[in-house]
A and B are shown apart, each in its own frame.
Chain A
Amino acid sequence: MASLGRLLTATRGRGKLDWTDWASYLYLGLGTLLMLGPVLWLALSSLKSPSGLIEFPPTLLPQEQVRAAVPNYPNPLPLYRITKGDHAGQTLAEVRKIGLQATMVDPAAPETLIRVPIDDRSKIMRLHAAWDNYTDLLKKFDFGRYLWNSVFITTVATIITLLLNSMAAFALSKYKFAGREPVFLMMLATLMIPPTIILVPNYLIAAVLGLTDNPWGVIWPAVATPTGVFLLRQYMLTLPDDLLEAARMDNASEWRIYWRIVLPLSKPALAVLAIFSVMWRWNEFLWPMVVLGRNETFTLPLALNSFQGELTTQWNYLLAMTVVTLVPVTVIFALLQRHITQGIASAGVK
């Protein structure tokens, strides 16, 4: 116990928590609540039934009203606890409600009808997760298609990005050829051309190449990332040239040297770029919205955006869909947190 106490109060070597430590923990605690709270709230809400969602004030956990089968009634009836009046403390089932009066029965004695003012009773609730919000996504909406579109674009674009960027980085780091420096500078310069300012001409190019309403229209324009080339080049510069020379002695072709020697050695940098690329493609919004016009070609973010316009009353599905969209990113982050934060801190890119 004593050691635990020491651990908790360990500060900058002064032995005791002073007020700045308390303030720090308070700040971090509130900050964490603000950062993660809304996401958790969304996840909890996505398990509520439509009637649970319009409850105000909302309950923290997803609940539903308990129903009981009562003889003589075909459907199970909702249960209430009576709070005031003659039947206070009893549990009754509602038959019908007219205005401010409810007609109720005792499930044990279903013959006698009892009239109760609706202010004198409260619903009996129990925890209940409405998983059908999720299963319905596949049944009622074309959700599988959007999911597939997103997965396809993310996977294919990432593979192409890794291949093309690493090839370019290989040449820029391991070869001396006329025009190498201008090429490298040109690639760096594209870092400063944000996609937002070339939306119109890119749309024309996509249209001319027949890439509109087509997942390849999202994939191709973004695969030649300057960030990726830069990241990989910096890493490959650190690989010793002797390795390449040794392979050349063994009569290996340059292509073979690239994919048999340099690529495997660049795994750490490739991993960082792969993570970035997955995040970029999975979350991309403006360009897909411009280039993908037909509903069947939508990615998850586009589908979410169009649903939130249409389904204002169907929040239960919208919330479930949002959770499905954020789960892959969350899992990747949970598993690779250290790599991601270190990669970002070192590359200074997002």
Chain B
Amino acid sequence: MLSTAARWFGRLYALVMNLPERPMRWAQGHLPDGRLGWLFVGPNLAIFGVFTFLPIVIDFYYAGTGGTNLLPTERPWVGTENFSSLLACKDYFDPNSCVRDQFWYAIWNTSKFVVLQVALMLVFSLTTALVLNRKIIGRGFFRAAFFYPVLLSPVVVALIWKWVLQRDGVLNAALVGGGMQPVEWLLGARSAFGWTVFVSIWAHMGFYTLILLAGLQAIPADIYEAASMDAAPPWRVFRRITLPLLMPSVLVVFVLGLIRAVQIFDEVYVLTGGGPGSATTYLVEFIYNTGFSSQVRQYGLAAAASLLLAGVLLVLTLVQLRGMRGTKGDSRG
């Protein structure tokens, strides 16, 4: 049964893959030497061009135009108005004093979120990686358990926690069982914010744990043997050997985590919808709301906000590249 299926699949594969044979052979005969490579790279490059490079150019054009029409030719040129309205604030620490108060709520929420989430995630994924690096029975299982949520759809993640946190949910049942009052977790500004931090850590820490674990396992065992010959206390071994040698991985985790945290959207959008009020509205949600979900689709404003976000991400990426070069030396693989 299975082998029949495999045979048919093989036939189908050969049939399909044989189709470009004649044109490619013709091209091979007629193209000057060294041009054939372009035929192989071409399709991939074309899609990059249309859906990645061209959009960046258009992004700048949109950011300089106003109105609500999607077609660029129908959009009036407004220069830097989108940027200046986004950045117009009497007091940058008070979103209410800004022209685009939602944008500044999003900025401050995102800043708080990023600091808290990245710091906590680093602590937890490092702890987990250190524990998993010990001689533990069932290590494969535990590693898989911590990693599993990474693969879940963000929408599924959000619904899982929405179900746990709802008014009659299992968490409140535990509270009531312990003699406490049930709490509307997602209706209070502070608790909703806290839960978005928690849920995003829950969903992503397995990925970072895996990177750190790989980093730990790459530390040569003989260094530890030498340390144990010298009867070095565990804490000093950790500070003087493990941590310095793990630093490259920690840096990768830190910057990757930062880049992803700045772009948080999916889980939070389904879990809280940005609420209550705008307590959990983060930057990407502001962009989405401005450009796509409101009645008046302000594409120019959304594009301008995207470019500001892109600027932040660019800086973070440069920091990452610099850091990687600094720690890895010339060991380019």
Contact = CB atoms under 8 A, between A and B. Distances in A.
9 smallest CB-CB distances across A and B, nearest first, come from A201-B58, A171-B40, A201-B55, A255-B24, A283-B153, A198-B55, A224-B47, A57-B173, A177-B37
A16 to B, nearest CB: 13
Contacts of B154: 283, 285, 301
Contacts, number: 286
B314 to A, nearest CB: 7
A270 interface: no
B136 interface: yes
A75 B80 CA distance: 72
B306 interface: yes
A283 B152 contact: yes
A201 B131 contact: no
A202 interface: yes
Nearest to A53: B168
B145 A36 contact: yes
A167 B28 contact: no
Interface string B241-257: 00000000000100010
A282 B48 CA distance: 21
17 contacts: A10-B135, A24-B134, A27-B131, A31-B128, A41-B170, A180-B37, A187-B44, A196-B263, A199-B292, A283-B151, A286-B288, A304-B159, A341-B143, A341-B147, A341-B210, A345-B214, A348-B256
A178 interface: yes
Contacts of A344: 207, 210-211
Given A190-B48, A253-B21, A255-B21, A285 B168 contact: no
Nearest to B50: A205
Contacts of A56: 168, 173, 176
Interface of B: 17, 20-21, 24-25, 28, 34-41, 43-45, 47-48, 50-59, 62, 70-72, 127-128, 131-132, 134-137, 140-156, 159-164, 168-170, 173, 176-177, 202, 206-207, 210-211, 213-214, 252, 256, 259, 263, 265-266, 269-270, 284, 287-288, 291-292, 299, 302-303, 306-307, 309-310, 313-314, 317, 333
Interface of A: 7-8, 10-12, 20-21, 24-25, 27-28, 31-32, 34-36, 38-39, 41-42, 45, 54, 56-58, 164-165, 167-168, 170-172, 175-180, 183, 186-187, 190, 192-194, 196-205, 207, 220-224, 226, 229, 234, 253-256, 258-259, 279, 282-283, 285-286, 289-290, 300-301, 304-305, 308, 315, 318-319, 322, 325-326, 329-330, 332-333, 337-338, 340-341, 344-346, 348, 350
B127 A27 contact: yes
A25 B169 CA distance: 28
Nearest to B124: A31
Contact of B41 (A183, A198, A223, A234): A183
Given A7-B137, A179-B38, A196-B263, 12 more contacts: A171-B36, A178-B34, A199-B288, A199-B291, A202-B51, A224-B44, A224-B48, A285-B266, A290-B292, A305-B155, A329-B151, A332-B151
Contacts of A201: 54-59, 62, 303
A77 B156 CA distance: 38
B213 to A, nearest CB: 7
B83 to A, nearest CB: 15
Contacts of B21: 253, 255-256
A42 B160 contact: yes
A38 B288 contact: no
Contacts of A255: 20-21, 24-25, 28
Given A207-B70, A254-B24, A308-B159, A220 B47 contact: yes
B302 A200 contact: yes
- Chain A interface mostly: helix
A130 to B, nearest CB: 16
A221 B28 CA distance: 29
Contacts of A167: 40-41, 43-44
Given A41-B164, A254-B36, A196 B17 contact: no
Nearest to A13: B135
Given A57-B176, A305-B270, A348-B252, A164 B155 contact: no
A171 B37 contact: yes
A38 B161 contact: yes
A25 B140 CA distance: 14
Contact of A196 (B53, B213, B265): B265
Contacts of A187: 44-45, 48
A41 B318 CA distance: 42
B134 A12 contact: yes
Nearest to B302: A200
A289 to B, nearest CB: 8
Nearest to B138: A28
Given A175-B34, A177-B34, A254 B136 contact: no
A305 B271 CA distance: 10
Contacts of A305: 155, 269-270
Nearest to A55: B168
